[in-house]
């Protein structure tokens, strides 16, 4: 059975360093959809052990008030990731993010470790989801097989820093260097019917650039963006909030399709636009986003 | 768990605490410093002593400098200091001695 959280709303995923108790004690006040509790790059090498103890107790004792708790484990090329998985699953995390994913086998390797941990710590089988970060040219090229690798996989994410290093380029701020990867990943994710997330924007002094980038990835079809600062959350949520005219149109589309389907009519017009069943899921998604944004007042 | 050497975990940043643990032959000795010692000193000591008890630490000198840490942080820092001090590198007993 598919985990009911697999397709939950994930417009914002805020990175938090598990080494810092001040960061992980109350991030829910900023209302991100997900938090990314980081055991990997943000944590100093000599503090990996300390970060795990903090993570375990935070997961056990802090009420994150419905915010999804994703744990980024250390890479599969380290001797840390297996204990990271045990810690995260025992603590009660919702999902695990695999860094530097390059192949479908990477996902399956972590999946087996999660299965073992679910048994060891008496968690229901399948309760822990997975997301895969693609951080290299090889990972991006293999996006399709990675997306198809596991029923637990809810999404893939572009990790721009490592990806740009692998491509031997620098990040321009225009997004031109990520165009190919973004387009390829969103197509692969949609083909596999999973979600797709964009990389972080690190220049906190350039909020206008950040806004433009979010508008671009929103129009490309990304489900959300990784973020590094609470100031970025309202910008993403605003851009992902459907406009009133879109909500009204979506309501009409859903009602008309339901009505016309019952009458055996496949193609018709709404407000002068040709509509068929292909518009149904998009309209449903608009209503779901409107509900999640707290602005929907209708009855669908 | 045997305390073999002096070890430290945590920082002096806000919402954290710094735990130092040293070998001793005189049972458990706890030294606590906190700006909120009147309100929370007893609770911090309780959490630290319970955690040491779960880890089977019977002899140690423990110093805690608290900067407004939650219970979960106090436990995490004490556990980490003990593991480092005992030079433990095996699988961690999540949900067992660690809870």
pLDDT of residue A182: 98
Asked if residue A286 and residue A154 are part of one domain, the reply reads no
Asked if residue A253 and residue A170 are part of one domain, the reply reads no
pLDDT of residue B50: 97
C-alpha–C-alpha distance, residues A268 and A274, integer Å:
6
Domain boundary among A240, A267, A282: A240
Give the domain extent around A267.
244-292
Q: Residue A212: CB partners within 8 Å, gap ≥ 6?
A: none
Topology given in CATH for the domain delimited by B7-86? Ribosomal Protein S5; domain 2 (3.30.230)
* CA–CA–CA angle A217, A220, A223 (5° rounding): 65
SS3 B30: strand
Residues of B in contact with A62 (CB under 8 A): 70, 72
Asked if residue A192 and residue A266 are part of one domain, the reply reads no
pLDDT grade, residue B47 (50/70/90)?
A: very high
Q: Are B79 and A54 an interchain contact pair (Cβ–Cβ within 8 Å)?
A: no
Asked if residue A233 and residue A248 are part of one domain, the reply reads no
Asked if residue A269 and residue A233 are part of one domain, the reply reads no
For residue A75, the domain's CATH number is 3.20.20.60
pLDDT tens for each residue of A111-163: 999 999 999 999 999 999 999 999 999 999 999 999 999 999 999 999 999 99
Chain B residue at shortest CA distance from A52? B76
Asked if residue A252 and residue A179 are part of one domain, the reply reads no
**Among the residues of A6-142, which ranges form H helices?**
21-24, 48-61, 81-91, 104-120, 137-141
pLDDT of residue A172: 86
Asked if residue A97 and residue A190 are part of one domain, the reply reads yes
- Tens-digit pLDDT string for chain A (300 aa): 789 899 999 999 999 999 999 999 999 999 999 999 999 999 999 999 999 999 999 999 999 999 999 999 999 999 999 999 999 999 999 999 999 999 999 999 999 999 999 999 999 999 999 999 999 999 999 999 999 999 999 999 999 999 999 999 988 888 899 999 999 999 999 999 999 999 999 999 999 999 999 999 999 999 999 999 999 999 999 999 999 999 999 999 999 998 888 888 888 888 888 888 888 988 998 998 898 888 998 888
Domain boundary among A203, A220, A240: A240
- For an interface test with B, the pick among A18, A21, A87 (most B C-beta atoms closer than 10 Å) comes out as A21
C-alpha–C-alpha distance, residues A241 and A260, integer Å:
28
pLDDT tens for each residue of B16-37: 999 999 999 999 999 999 999 9
* C-alpha distance from B56 to closest chain A C-alpha (Å): 17
Partner-chain residue, chosen from A22, A60, A87, that has the shortest CB–CB distance to B16? A22
B73 touches chain A (CB under 8 A): yes
Residues of B in contact with A16 (CB under 8 A): none
Q: Are B76 and A50 an interchain contact pair (Cβ–Cβ within 8 Å)?
A: yes
pLDDT of residue A23: 97
Q: Are A25 and B91 an interchain contact pair (Cβ–Cβ within 8 Å)?
A: no
Is A233 a domain residue? Answer: yes
- For an interface test with A, the pick among B47, B71, B73, B91 (most A C-beta atoms closer than 10 Å) comes out as B73
**Please, what is the angle between helix A81-91 and helix A48-61, to 10°?**
20
Residues of B in contact with A49 (CB under 8 A): 80, 83-84
1-20 of B, contacting A, C-beta below 8 A: 9-10, 13-16
Is A106 a domain residue? Answer: yes
pLDDT of residue A263: 85
Domain boundary among A240, A258, A284: A240
Chains A and B form CB pairs within 8 A to the count of 61
Q: How many structural domains compose chain A?
A: 2
Domain residue ranges in chain B: 7-86
**Nearest Cα to A55, choosing from B75, B62, B88?**
B75
Sign of the CA dihedral B68, B23, A44, B73? negative
């Amino acid at each position: 059975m598919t985990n009911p959280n697999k397709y939950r709303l994930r417009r914002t995923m805020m990175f938090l360093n598990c080494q810092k108790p001040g960061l992980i004690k109350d991030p829910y006040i900023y209302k991100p959809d997900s938090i990314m509790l980081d055991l990997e790059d943000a944590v100093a090498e000599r503090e990996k052990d300390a970060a795990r103890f903090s993570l375990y107790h935070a997961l056990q004792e802090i009420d994150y008030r419905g915010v999804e708790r994703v744990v980024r484990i250390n890479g599969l090329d380290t001797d840390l990731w297996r204990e990271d998985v045990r810690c995260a699953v025992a603590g009660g995390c919702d999902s695990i993010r695999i860094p530097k994913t390059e192949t479908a086998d990477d996902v399956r390797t972590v999946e087996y470790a999660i299965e073992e941990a679910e048994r060891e710590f008496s968690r229901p089988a399948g309760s822990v989801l997975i997301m895969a970060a693609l951080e290299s040219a090889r990972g991006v090229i293999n996006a399709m097989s990675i997306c198809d690798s596991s029923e637990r996989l809810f999404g893939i994410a572009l990790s721009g820093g490592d990806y740009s290093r692998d491509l031997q380029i620098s990040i321009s701020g225009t997004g031109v260097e990520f165009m190919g990867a973004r387009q390829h990943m969103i197509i692969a994710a949609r083909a596999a019917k999973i979600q797709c997330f964009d990389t972080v924007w690190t220049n906190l002094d350039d909020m206008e650039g950040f806004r433009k980038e979010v508008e671009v990835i929103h129009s490309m079809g990304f489900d959300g963006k990784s973020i590094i600062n609470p100031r970025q959350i309202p910008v993403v949520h605003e851009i992902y909030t459907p406009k009133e005219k879109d909500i009204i149109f979506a309501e009409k589309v859903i009602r008309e399709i339901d009505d016309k389907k019952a009458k055996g009519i496949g193609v018709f017009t709404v407000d002068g636009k040709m509509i068929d069943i292909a518009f149904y899921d998009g309209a449903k998604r608009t209503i779901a986003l409107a509900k999640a944004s707290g602005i929907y007042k209708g009855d669908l | 768990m045997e305390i073999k050497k002096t070890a430290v975990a945590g920082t002096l940043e806000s919402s954290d605490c710094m735990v130092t643990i040293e070998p001793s032959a005189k049972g458990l000795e706890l030294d606590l410093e906190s700006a909120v010692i009147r309100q929370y000193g007893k609770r911090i000591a309780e959490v630290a002593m319970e955690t040491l008890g779960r880890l089977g630490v019977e002899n140690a000198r423990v110093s805690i400098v608290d900067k407004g840490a939650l219970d979960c942080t106090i436990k995490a820092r004490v556990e980490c200091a003990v593991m480092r001090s005992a030079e433990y590198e095996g699988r961690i007993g999540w949900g067992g001695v660690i809870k």
